[in-house]
Amino acid sequence: MSGFLVLQGLRKRFPNGTVAIDGVDLEVAEGELVALLGPSGCGKTTTLRCIAGFEDPDAGSITLDGRRIDTLPPNRRGATMVFQGYALFPHLSVFENVGYGLRVRRVGGVALRERVEAALTLVGLAGYGDRRPQQLSGGQQQRVALARALVLEPSLLLFDEPLSNLDAKLREQLRLELRALQQRVRITSVYVTHDQAEAMTLADRVAVMDRGHIAQLGTPRQIYDEPVNRFVADFVGRANFVRGVVRERSDDSVVVDVLGATRRASRAPGPLAEGAEVDVMIRPEEVHVVSSDTDGTVPAVVRRASFVGASVVYQLQCAGVEIIAIAPLERGAALAADGARVGLRMRDGALRAFPTAAEPHTP
Amino acid sequence: MIGRIGREPVAAIVAVFAAAGLALILIYPLFSVLQEAVISEQGGFDVSPVTRVLSNPVSRQILVNTLVMGMLAGILSTVLGFAFALATARASRGPLRAGLHFVALLPLIAPPFALALSTIFLFGRNGLVTKQLFGLEISPYGLSGLLFVQTITFFPVAYLIFDALVRQLDPALEEAALNLGASRARILRTVTLPLLRPAFAGSFLIIFVESLADLANPLLIGGDFNVLASSVYLAIIGEFDTRKAVGFAVVLLVPSLIAFFAQRLWVGEGNVVTVTGKPSTGRVGLLEPTLRVPLLAVTLFVGVIVVSLYAAVIAGAFTKLLGINNTVTLDNFRFVLQGIGTRAMTDTTILSAIAAPIAGISGLLVAWLVVRTRIGGRVVFDYLLMLGAAAPGIVLGLGILLAFNHPPLRLSGQTALFGGAIVFIIAFVLRTAPVSLRGNVAALSQIDPSLEQASANLGAGQVTTLRRITVPLLRRSLLSGVIFSFTRNMTTLSTVALLVTPSWRIMTSQILNEIDAQRLGSGAAYSTILIVIVLIAIVGLQRAFGRAAIEVAA
């Protein structure tokens, strides 16, 4: 993979002593969209602001298209940003906002008008040029911010949680639009978000960040199906963690005793000795609740079954631990009663084993 | 450091200019005062000008008088300002509220003499109210008259502080207390007042400083009650004794600076109030009648006094001698305009108008430097410039006089460049740029830095961002700063009292002369003209450059 944007050993400590990023390495290919995903304080925004030039990293380098940019001032980096609060200039019209960067580059007259109109059309806001930003809805403001960044045809687009100020429905819609647009213009992008659904919908690859470094970088499928550690497994999607013991092991899988049964599980990197305790993860949608007399199931008791519309969430007690299961409910079918005895079916490939965390905790 | 300057070239240039400017117009004059105070004429170390003030019983009494006046004026004005803020926020609605608000702001545009003058008209030995109406023979001259005038002059400052804070209080807090069963009076005592505690301290300290710096009222109505500011003035004007003046000035400087910077450190901006900072959206209920009625009675009574004082200035200008000979006449105006009044009007207006934009823009640039750049030592600029507001005007005036009346930089006096005009502009800028600084710092803190980052991100350099984004976004606070500066320049006496020469006439100084010569009618006519010029300027500037409320300027 050719690194169009390359971050190497990026470190940043704030004056108050907190270490924001602690050795970030990342390569983004040309035309690729990489999402930086993580909880607040993980360093994703600091990484983005280092690329934009609003923070000076203490160590490391940033290369864009073969050129060192971390020594350049923010206005010479050619990486335009869509800000979290959009940062639209309130004293300028939509047209002037979008044309701002072009004017700075001494583009004027017909060329300016054509390029601004084209950018506004691209984001579906043709004819809105004369309005003030304050007269637009949140979604429209977001599009203006996008047009303002796109119109300069940057070599790199930066997104700082651009959808976080919108309501859930609009966010979902814009997420899809943004993906379609990025696919069309193919501008290399780095997208910061704490919303895993957003990251997975939009990104070619996702970098999950934890306490100042990248815990895992991979396609959405990879980080969901093959998390490298408990943090990633827990942050991306929901997960049950139960204790198990390793019976047999091979290079890519282990056989574990878990919940009173013996199952094959894929294995995360790290030492997993035979006979050792491991944390076994299973996603709630991989736990199938069936009748208790089904062969090959694990017995469990329903603590509570909650109907949440598209699915049913079961809180189950199984071999002394609590398990969450999520399953679709056929229209008209009855919910399992609280206290009912049921069987749990778990596919071999659905389990994943991790080296035991020093401080075990139940999800 | 070099890297930073390379990254922020404009900030570096502004910092260099700010440093040079402050060194020249602030540090050099203040240094001149201190030098005069500690170096004897023979060149030896000698602090006797200061020790003499402290050891001499007469001058020690002057120090005590000053502190007593400052503290009492601070307490009275703060209480009255709070009463007005409470009355407008929690005791009145509609036109009554608007009326109280207007009355509470009215004294802000008065030149320093106007209120003292009309106090003499109304409550003097031959006062319209005291003598004519009630047949009383009381003298307003002394501490009580001085406190009366200062309280009316300064309570609007307290009102503005409380008004801004009361509006910021989250109504949800009061609703929560109400919901838990507390009465309005109890909420006031247990929720509102504790939240406003820093404002009481801040208001008291600010007015203490203002009171100490006040020169006009002590001269006019202080009588035998001498204070430090007037002593500095009289030492120069009456006795030509520079070392005596410097002694008083240094003694005056110390409590002023302590109070001012205590207020900045302790109350500061940002931690003034521990609430959301969002303007309240909910409606807050009125206080119970048991509190509301006395509150309205007091504030309305004060309101009537304020309006009568203004009316008395105007009436005094249009009568022979208000209270003694109430014949309506234009003689006062004729006397003023045919004399040096016309000169004073144009001179003062020209100097004020030149200084106002300089003060406004310097305040804005230093605010930008402090809030938005990472230039090393930027906070020092903030504190240094604030010295211009912290030091009493008469001390600054004395410093400017001592610094610029001799080579290498002879700027004051008739024979200097432009007839000594430059020292007035220095004095005006020094005094009012700090207010522009505070206003722009507050405004800039409200503006999301991501706007300027967005501009940089789109390719704009520091100059373009400053010109196209920052300054347009700050136009309201800039305009407020300019209006304030012009108003203050027109109406100040203390800063320029020592700088006046025959080549440049200052209106406030002329008013002082008229009153000294017992021509109270001419003084009133001058004051009326001054008020009219200030009002025209405020309205005109707002019309020309957009809306910025008078209260913002004030």
**A146-155, B187-196, B338-347: which has the minimum mean pLDDT?**
B187-196
Average pLDDT over residues B372-395: 88
Interface predicted TM-score (ipTM)? 0.79
* Stated length of chain A: 363
Residue B180 CB partners (closer than 8 Å, separation 6+):
none
Section A158-183 average pLDDT: 90
The CA-based angle A99-A101-A102, given to 5 degrees, is 65
Query: pLDDT higher for B10 or B353?
Result: B353
- pLDDT value at position A217? 97
pLDDT above 90: percentage of residues in chain A? 68
Residue-by-residue DSSP string for B99-126:
HHHHHHHGGGGS-HHHHHHHHHHHHSTT
Instruction: Say what the pTM is.
Output: 0.81
Contact A24, A62 (CB under 8 A): no
CA separation (Å) from B292 to B83, B87, B96? 10, 8, 13
CA distance to partner chain A, nearest, from residue B457 (Å): 5
Given a cut of 50, whether residue A214 has pLDDT beyond it is: yes
Sequence-separated (6 or more) residues with CB below 8 Å from residue B81? B104, B155, B156, B157, B158, B159, B160, B161, B162, B203
Q: Which of A74, A84, A89 lies nearest to residue B457, judging by beta carbons?
A: A74
| In the predicted structure, residue A20 carries a pLDDT above the cut 50 | yes
B293 backbone dihedrals φ, ψ, rounded to 5°: -65, -50
- Out of B451, B459, B460, closest to residue A87 by CB: B451
Mean pLDDT across A194-213? 94
Does the pLDDT at position B89 exceed 80?
Answer: yes
Per-residue pLDDT tens digits for B228-265: 999 999 999 988 888 899 999 999 999 999 998 888 88
A240 near A323, Cβ under 8 Å?
yes
Predicted confidence (pLDDT) at residue B3 exceeds the cutoff of 70: no
Record the tokens describing residue B150, joined without a space: 């200062």
Residue B187: the pLDDT is: 81
**CB contact set of B416 (below 8 Å; sequence gap of 6+):** B404, B410, B422, B423
Q: Is the pLDDT of residue B423 over 90?
A: yes
CB contact under 8 A, A152 and B458: yes
| Tokens 């924001």 belong to residue | A20
Q: Residue B457: its chain A contacts at CB < 8 A? A: 52-53, 74-75, 77, 79-81
pLDDT over 50 (residue B377): yes
A73, B7: Cβ pair inside 8 Å? yes
Mean pLDDT of B94-113: 86
Distance (Å) from the alpha carbon of A215 to chain B's nearest alpha carbon = 29
Following DSSP, what letter does each residue of A179-242 receive, concatenated? HHHHHHH---EEEEES-HHHHHHH-SEEEEEETTEEEEEE-HHHHHHS-SSHHHHHHSS--EEE
pLDDT of residue B268: 58
Among partner residues B458, B468, B469, which is closest to A148 by beta-carbon distance? B458
3-state SS class at A256: strand
pLDDT at residue B267 above 80? no
Q: Does residue B552 register a pLDDT over 60? A: no
Mean pLDDT of chain A: 90
Query: Which 3-state string (H, E, C) describes B204-243?
Result: HHHHHHHHHHCCHHHHHHCCCCCCHHHHHHHHHHCCCCHH
Per the DSSP assignment, residues forming a β-bridge with A289 are A344
Asked whether the beta carbons of residue A105 and residue B448 sit closer than 8 angstroms, the reply is no
Residue B282 above 70 pLDDT?
no
Q: Are B252 and B392 in contact (CB under 8 A)?
A: yes
Decide if pLDDT at B1 tops 60: no
- State whether residue B546 sits within 8 Å of chain A by CB: no
* Residue A62 near residue A68, CB atoms below 8 Å: yes
Burial class (CB in 10 A: 0-12, 13-18, 19+), B308: middle
Q: What is the arithmetic mean of pLDDT over B451-474?
A: 92
pLDDT tens digits, B307-320:
999 999 999 999 98
Give the model's confidence band at A229: pLDDT under 50 very low, under 70 low, under 90 confident, else very high.
very high
| Residue in B20, B13, B25, B111 with CA at minimum distance from that of residue B387 | B25
B206, B156 Cβ separation under 8 angstroms: no
Q: What pLDDT does residue B546 have?
A: 62
Q: Which of A131-140, A326-335, B110-119 has the highest mean pLDDT?
A: A131-140
Q: How many C-beta atoms lie closer than 10 Å to residue A36's C-beta? A: 28
Q: Do A91 and B457 touch (CB under 8 A)?
A: no
Least confident span in A304-308, B401-405, B418-422, B480-484 = B418-422
Q: Name residue B221's amino acid.
A: I
User: Which residues of B are less than 8 Å from A73 in CB distance?
Assistant: 7, 456, 461
Residue B4 pLDDT exceeds 60: no
CA angle (B286, B290, B294) in 5-degree steps: 90
Of all residues in chain A, the one with the smallest CA distance to B465 is: A104
- For residue A156, the chain B residue with the least C-alpha distance is B457
Q: Determine contact: B7 vs chain A, CB below 8 A.
A: yes
Q: B6 falls in which pLDDT band (50, 70, 90)?
A: low
Q: What percent of chain B has pLDDT over 70?
A: 94
Report percent pLDDT > 90 for chain B: 46
Tell me the C-alpha distance between B114 and B221, whole Å.
12
Q: For residue B543, what pLDDT band results from cuts at 50, 70 and 90? A: confident
CB pairs A-B closer than 8 Å:
63
Q: Is the pLDDT of residue B550 over 60?
A: no
pLDDT reading at B273 higher than 60: no
The token pair that represents A88 in the structure block: 């639209």
Residue B155 reports pLDDT greater than 80: yes
pLDDT at B132 over 80: no
pLDDT, average across residues A116-145: 94
Bridge partners of A245? A257, A277
Inter-residue contact B500 to B492 (CB < 8 Å)? no
Name the band, by pLDDT with cuts 50, 70 and 90, for residue B2.
Answer: very low
Does the pLDDT of residue B280 top 80, yes or no?
Answer: no
| Nearest CA distance, A328 vs chain B (angstrom) | 42
SS3 call for B330: coil
The radius of gyration of chain B's CA atoms, rounded to the nearest angstrom, is 24
pLDDT tens digits for B467-513?
999 999 999 889 989 998 999 999 999 999 999 888 888 999 999 88
pLDDT classification of A47: cutoffs 50, 70, 90: very high
Look at strands A288-291 and A341-345 and give their pairing. antiparallel
